[in-house]
């Protein structure tokens, strides 16, 4: 269970710091998929960064725990080892570091942090091959440097590849649908759905209802002005798609 | 596994190392020996030494020459250089700052007692053998025959272990050279230059000072006067040297200058790959290192020269460290010859070094691949010169500078195309990576072109290690130090690939150690 209580956070330092999250509360029980929708500037990406420990974001109040363990005091890598995974809205290029080397290094770093043995090379390659197939990724791509020269769609698929390789316990998908055509969206959704399990939770951040046709959420939350202002079932997403955010925002005031 | 066997004060610093596919356990173990919290090569070997009287006079030059029982022509060569040196000014054009060097405060010759008499490895004092063992450099051929520690092994070559012949230079003298007999069978001469002067005086006389003349520059002239020891290699016509050759330079004695002289000749159609490694103890005062390396490649010959330089860089406040003033030059004297320099520079307080190629023969090729890392208060001014004299000569420069801490890192390079160098081509790429905001990176490319048909390309980039990249990597579970190492390794990958496998692993590890504590 991911449990966020009364979370407040600012971005920037000193005089220039801006408050983005204002007492946000949210619980995603293990095994469930929740979606977060909201207008631009609502704090969606900030929430994903605060949960995963990015520098430059300061928590000014509240708590966030994963399965009862505090997340906010940990370094990003320690949170990753506990099972937090963020699929980035804008995946970053890492020149000179091949995908396979990167993911294997990450996997073994996490395993080491958890006191588990390293994955063997044949085991790793087998797993990588299987996942690449599910995501229709060219195996040659996995020998190229991370995200360098990849198209927008390829980058997003590579995020899902990493997620499937690392098998996190909690996944945050930040606008994974942006920049994807409908075929790529379907492929990506298949990968994500393959990871749905009673042992995992997921937070899907999106602007559009479209993605939720493929990744069906148990609950939909509306994030605005740094707080969750409304929670409902999948039908809430359809309503937002039809009416826009204005109606929901007006109700919340 | 006892991964730090024989290490002195750093026994407790063993940590896991990540290795790429295809690297065997021995390599990992050897690489592990290189790591420590700080500088694992920083120990001092306690052994009785012979010194020349401190300071530099004509008598010092005569003392060195006499110690080595040199022929008259060489003594004359040294004396002429010494007299010329007295008239020269130390150069100041490099972007490095250091207090004025008192050349009278150094010892110009330091040798383990009785070293001149070592007839075989059995006579080399245990302390010295232990020193090299600590550094992961086996000298006993028996060990070497079992495969050099640190030698890479892929599945395909598992049965045929790569072997490396080693010349070990301890302060001013060569203490041991391995595999000599076997190399001799192939016709390859591999020995210390002092021995070569005795055994092959004609060869030495023919080539010494023909690439870097004694009049070349302040430091080269100083070296010509007082050079102590170094390596001599001659690969005869048509011979492909059967193994990697290497020299490990170790500066041990206090207040000592090391002035090594290396001369490598690849005769027509010959090939040789040579590796050079350097370490020194941590000392509070600055030690002086002014080497000269000369390479000669005749028709169709190829020389590949790799350096992993890890001299003590001084502490974080800039106290101590090696002053490294080096003149390295290769002469592609023959047609279609090729000289390739690859260097990984992580050490020294001051680095002043420009391995160069004189592309004299038609269709000859010069290459320079460099990784220069500066951290703490280190200053590096390094690069290359590619002098195109012959027709259709080609050169390629790939330089990767990494600056961290409060260091300064300058690439300084010259591409010179002379009148007769019809159809000359050069490609230059200089990339700088900044870690933190208190360091500096500078690129100073000079071009002199006398040909309208020359094709010269230059690319340069300066990037900061980005927060975005660092967060992305850490979010995947990789700790900060390892994340920096991974990003840096990616940055220098093109150059690392040029190194022989066993050195690449060592270099990778060194980069990691050199940049520890550079972020956060």
**Is the pLDDT confidence value at B51 over 60?**
yes
Maximum pairwise Cα distance, chain B: 68
Mean pLDDT of B368-375: 89
Closest alpha carbon to B316 in B365, B363, B375, B382: B375
Lowest-confidence pick of A51-60, A218-227, B83-92, B508-517: B508-517
Measured in angstroms, the CA of B469 and the nearest CA of chain A are apart by: 6
Residues B416 and B450: their CA atoms lie apart, in Å, by 8
Q: Which residue has the higher pLDDT, B214 or B463?
A: B214
Measured in angstroms, the CA of B40 and the nearest CA of chain A are apart by: 24
A96 contacts in B (CB within 8 Å)? 489-494
User: Cβ A96–B477 below 8 Å, yes or no?
Assistant: no
Task: Work out the pLDDT band at B17, boundaries 50, 70, 90.
Answer: very low
Q: What's the per-residue H, E or C state across B376-402?
A: CCCEEEECCEEEECCCCCEEEEEEEEE
Mean pLDDT of B125-148: 54
- The pair of structure tokens assigned to B341 is 């320099």
- The pair of structure tokens assigned to A182 is 């409908």
B490 contacts in A (CB within 8 Å)? 94-97, 145
Q: Hey, how many other C-beta atoms are within 10 angstroms of the C-beta on A222?
A: 25
- Does B429 contact chain A (CB < 8 Å)? no
Residue with tokens 């974080």: B316
Catalogue all structural domains in chain A, each as residue range(s) with its CATH number.
2-252 (3.40.50.300)
Which helix (H) or strand (E) covers residue A154, if one does? helix A152-166
- Does B12 contact chain A (CB < 8 Å)? no
Closest alpha carbon to B243 in B174, B330, B141, B340: B141
Cross-chain CB nearest to A81 (options B473, B477, B489): B477
Task: Work out the pLDDT band at B264, boundaries 50, 70, 90.
Answer: very high
Lowest-confidence pick of A16-25, A78-87, B140-149: B140-149
Q: Which residue has the higher pLDDT, B219 or B131?
A: B219
Task: Work out the pLDDT band at B9, boundaries 50, 70, 90.
Answer: very low
Which helix (H) or strand (E) covers residue B273, if one does? strand B271-279
Mean pLDDT of B320-347: 91
- The pair of structure tokens assigned to B183 is 């190399």
Closest alpha carbon to B7 in B134, B127, B131, B128: B134
**Is the pLDDT confidence value at B145 over 60?**
no
Based on its alpha-carbon atoms, the radius of gyration of chain B, rounded to whole angstroms, reads: 22
- Does A83 contact chain B (CB < 8 Å)? no
Residues A100 and A140: their CA atoms lie apart, in Å, by 10
User: Cβ A96–B489 below 8 Å, yes or no?
Assistant: yes
Closest alpha carbon to B212 in B328, B299, B76: B328
User: Cβ B471–A105 below 8 Å, yes or no?
Assistant: no
Q: What are B389-421's pLDDT values in tens digits?
A: 999 999 999 999 988 888 889 999 999 999 999
CB B414 within 8 A of CB B386: yes
- Does B493 contact chain A (CB < 8 Å)? yes
Edge-to-edge strands of the sheet including A69-70? A18-28, A2-11, A57-66, A69-70
User: Cβ B480–A54 below 8 Å, yes or no?
Assistant: no
Mean pLDDT of A160-182: 93
- Does A46 contact chain B (CB < 8 Å)? no
Q: What's the per-residue H, E or C state across A176-208?
A: CCCCCCHHHHHHHHHHHHHCCCCCCEEEEEECC
Task: Work out the angle at residue B124's Cα, subtended by the Cα atoms of residues B121 and B125, and round it to the nearest 5 degrees.
Answer: 145
Q: What pLDDT does B235 receive?
A: 96
Residues B513 and B31: their CA atoms lie apart, in Å, by 11
Q: What pLDDT does A144 receive?
A: 95
Residues B482 and B19: their CA atoms lie apart, in Å, by 12
Q: What pLDDT does B119 receive?
A: 59
Q: What are B276-302's pLDDT values in tens digits?
A: 876 655 555 667 888 999 999 999 999
Lowest-confidence pick of A242-246, B109-113, B362-366, B458-462: B109-113
Task: Work out the pLDDT band at B18, boundaries 50, 70, 90.
Answer: very low
- What letter does residue B339 receive in the DSSP assignment? E
Q: What pLDDT does A2 receive?
A: 96
Q: Chain B residue closest to A97 (CA)?
A: B490
Q: Which residue has the higher pLDDT, B228 or A80?
A: A80
Residues B250 and B298: their CA atoms lie apart, in Å, by 31
Cross-chain CB nearest to B475 (options A76, A97, A105): A76
3-state DSSP call for residue B279?
Answer: strand
- Does A215 contact chain B (CB < 8 Å)? no
**Is the pLDDT confidence value at A217 over 90?**
yes
Closest alpha carbon to B268 in B332, B315, B317: B332
- The pair of structure tokens assigned to A213 is 């046709």
B476 contacts in A (CB within 8 Å)? 80, 102-103, 106, 109-110, 162, 166
Q: What pLDDT does B180 receive?
A: 75
A29: left (phi over 0), alpha (psi -120 to 50) or beta: beta
Task: Work out the pLDDT band at B148, boundaries 50, 70, 90.
Answer: very low
Lowest-confidence pick of A62-66, B169-173, B506-510: B169-173
Measured in angstroms, the CA of A29 and the nearest CA of chain B are apart by: 22
Query: ipTM, 2 decimals?
Result: 0.96
Residues B39 and B316: their CA atoms lie apart, in Å, by 12
Measured in angstroms, the CA of B471 and the nearest CA of chain A are apart by: 6
Q: Exposed (0-12), middle (13-18) or buried (19+): which is B93, by Cβ within 10 Å?
A: exposed
Q: What pLDDT does B257 receive?
A: 73
Mean pLDDT, rounded, of chain B: 79
Residues A191 and B76: their CA atoms lie apart, in Å, by 78
User: Cβ B474–A76 below 8 Å, yes or no?
Assistant: yes
- Does B461 contact chain A (CB < 8 Å)? no
Measured in angstroms, the CA of B468 and the nearest CA of chain A are apart by: 7
Q: What are A131-148's pLDDT values in tens digits?
A: 999 998 999 999 999 999
Q: What pLDDT does B137 receive?
A: 57
Q: Hey, how many other C-beta atoms are within 10 angstroms of the C-beta on A136?
A: 13
Q: What pLDDT does B221 receive?
A: 94
CA atoms in the 13 A half-sphere facing the CB of B505: 25
3-state DSSP call for residue B60?
Answer: helix
C-alpha B471, offset from chain centre: 35
Residues A40 and A175: their CA atoms lie apart, in Å, by 12
- Does A87 contact chain B (CB < 8 Å)? no
3-state DSSP call for residue B275?
Answer: strand
Mean pLDDT of B245-261: 74
DSSP, residue by residue, B144-160: HHT--TT----GGGTTS
- Does A123 contact chain B (CB < 8 Å)? no
Cross-chain CB nearest to B474 (options A77, A95, A162): A77
- Does A110 contact chain B (CB < 8 Å)? yes
- Does B484 contact chain A (CB < 8 Å)? no
Q: What are A12-62's pLDDT values in tens digits?
A: 888 888 999 999 999 999 999 999 999 888 999 999 999 999 999 999 999
Chain A segment 147-166 residues within 8 A of B by beta carbon are 162, 166
CB B442 within 8 A of CB B95: yes
Residues B462 and B401: their CA atoms lie apart, in Å, by 9
- The pair of structure tokens assigned to B413 is 């390079």
Within B280-364, strands assigned E span 286-289, 292-297, 302-309, 321-332, 338-345, 350-353, 356-359
Residue with tokens 């299987």: A130
**Is the pLDDT confidence value at B101 over 90?**
no
B472 contacts in A (CB within 8 Å)? 88, 91-92, 94
Mean pLDDT of B327-331: 96
User: Cβ B489–A113 below 8 Å, yes or no?
Assistant: no
3-state DSSP call for residue A82?
Answer: helix
User: Cβ B477–A55 below 8 Å, yes or no?
Assistant: no
Residues A161 and A6: their CA atoms lie apart, in Å, by 33
Residues B332 and B389: their CA atoms lie apart, in Å, by 10
Maximum pairwise Cα distance, chain A: 57
Task: Work out the pLDDT band at B122, boundaries 50, 70, 90.
Answer: low
B18 contacts in A (CB within 8 Å)? 105, 108-109
CA atoms in the 13 A half-sphere facing the CB of B219: 24
């Amino acid at each position: 269970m991911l449990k966020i209580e009364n979370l407040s956070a600012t971005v920037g330092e000193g005089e220039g710091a801006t408050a983005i999250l204002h007492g946000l509360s949210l619980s995603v029980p293990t095994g469930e998929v929740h979606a977060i929708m909201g207008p631009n500037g609502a704090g969606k990406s900030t929430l994903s960064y605060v949960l995963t420990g990015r520098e430059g974001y300061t928590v000014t109040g509240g708590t966030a725990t994963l399965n009862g363990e505090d997340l906010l005091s940990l370094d990003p890598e320690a949170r990753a080892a506990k099972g937090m995974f963020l699929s980035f809205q804008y995946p970053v290029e890492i020149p000179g570091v091949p995908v396979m080397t990167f993911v294997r290094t990450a996997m073994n770093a996490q395993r080491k942090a958890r006191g588990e043995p390293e994955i063997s090379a044949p085991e790793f390659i087998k797993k990588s091959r299987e996942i690449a197939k599910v995501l229709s990724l060219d195996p040659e791509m996995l020998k190229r440097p991370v995200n360098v020269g990849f198209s927008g769609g390829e980058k997003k698929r590579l995020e899902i590849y990493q997620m499937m390789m690392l098998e996190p316990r909690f996944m945050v998908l930040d606008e994974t649908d942006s920049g994807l055509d409908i075929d790529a969206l379907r492929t990506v959704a298949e990968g994500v759905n393959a990871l749905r399990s009673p042992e995992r939770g997921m937070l899907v951040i999106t602007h559009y209802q479209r993605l939720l046709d493929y990744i069906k959420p148990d609950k939909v939350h509306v994030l605005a002005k740094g707080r969750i202002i409304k929670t409902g079932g999948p039908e809430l997403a359809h309503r937002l798609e039809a009416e826009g955010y204005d109606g929901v925002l007006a109700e919340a005031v | 596994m006892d991964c730090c066997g024989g290490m002195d004060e750093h026994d407790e610093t063993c940590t896991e190392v990540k290795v790429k596919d295809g690297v065997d356990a021995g390599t990992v173990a050897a690489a592990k020996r290189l790591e420590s919290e700080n500088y694992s090569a920083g120990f001092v070997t306690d052994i009785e030494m012979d010194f020349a009287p401190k300071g530099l006079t004509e008598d010092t030059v005569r003392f060195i020459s006499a110690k080595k029982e040199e022929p008259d022509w060489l003594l004359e060569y040294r004396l002429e250089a010494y007299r010329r040196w007295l008239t020269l000014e130390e150069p100041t054009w490099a972007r490095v700052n250091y207090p004025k060097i008192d050349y009278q405060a150094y010892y110009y010759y330091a040798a383990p007692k009785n070293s001149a008499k070592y007839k075989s490895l059995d006579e080399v004092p245990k302390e010295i053998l232990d020193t090299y063992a600590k550094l992961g450099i086996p000298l006993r051929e028996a060990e070497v025959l079992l495969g050099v520690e640190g030698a890479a092994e892929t599945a395909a070559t598992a049965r045929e272990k790569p072997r490396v012949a080693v010349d070990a230079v301890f302060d001013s003298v060569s203490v041991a050279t391995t595999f000599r007999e076997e190399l001799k069978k192939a016709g390859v001469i591999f020995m210390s230059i002092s021995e070569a002067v005795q055994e092959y005086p004609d060869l030495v006389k023919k080539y010494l000072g023909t690439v870097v003349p004694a009049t070349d520059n302040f430091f080269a002239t100083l070296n010509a006067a007082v050079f102590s020891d170094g390596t001599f290699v001659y690969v005869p016509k048509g011979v492909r040297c059967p193994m990697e050759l290497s020299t490990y330079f170790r500066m041990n004695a206090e207040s000592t200058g090391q002035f090594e002289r290396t001369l490598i000749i690849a005769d027509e159609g010959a090939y040789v790959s040579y590796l050079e490694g350097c370490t020194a103890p941590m000392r509070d005062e600055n030690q002086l290192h002014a080497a000269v390396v000369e390479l000669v490649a005749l028709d169709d010959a190829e020389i590949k020269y790799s350096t992993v330089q890890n001299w003590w860089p001084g502490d974080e406040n800039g106290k101590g460290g090696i002053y490294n003033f080096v003149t390295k030059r290769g002469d592609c004297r023959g047609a279609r010859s090729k000289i390739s320099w690859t260097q990984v520079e992580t050490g020294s307080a001051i680095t002043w070094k420009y391995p160069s190629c004189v592309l004299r023969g038609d269709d000859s090729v010069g290459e320079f691949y460099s990784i220069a890392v500066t951290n703490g208060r280190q200053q590096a001014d390094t690069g290359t010169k590619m002098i195109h004299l012959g027709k259709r000569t080609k050169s390629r420069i790939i330089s990767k500078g990494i600056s961290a801490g409060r260091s300064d890192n300058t690439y300084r390079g010259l591409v010179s195309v002379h009148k007769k160098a019809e159809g000359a081509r050069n490609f230059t790429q200089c990339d700088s990576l900044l870690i933190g905001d208190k360091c500096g990176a500078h690129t100073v490319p000079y071009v002199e072109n006398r040909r309208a048909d020359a094709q010269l390309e230059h690319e340069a980039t300066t990037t900061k290690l980005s927060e975005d990249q660092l967060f992305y990597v850490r979010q995947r579970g990789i700790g900060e130090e390892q994340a920096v190492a991974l990003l840096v390794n990616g940055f220098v990958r093109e150059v690392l690939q040029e190194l022989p496998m066993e050195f690449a692993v060592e270099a990778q590890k060194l980069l990691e150690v050199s940049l520890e504590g550079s972020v956060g």
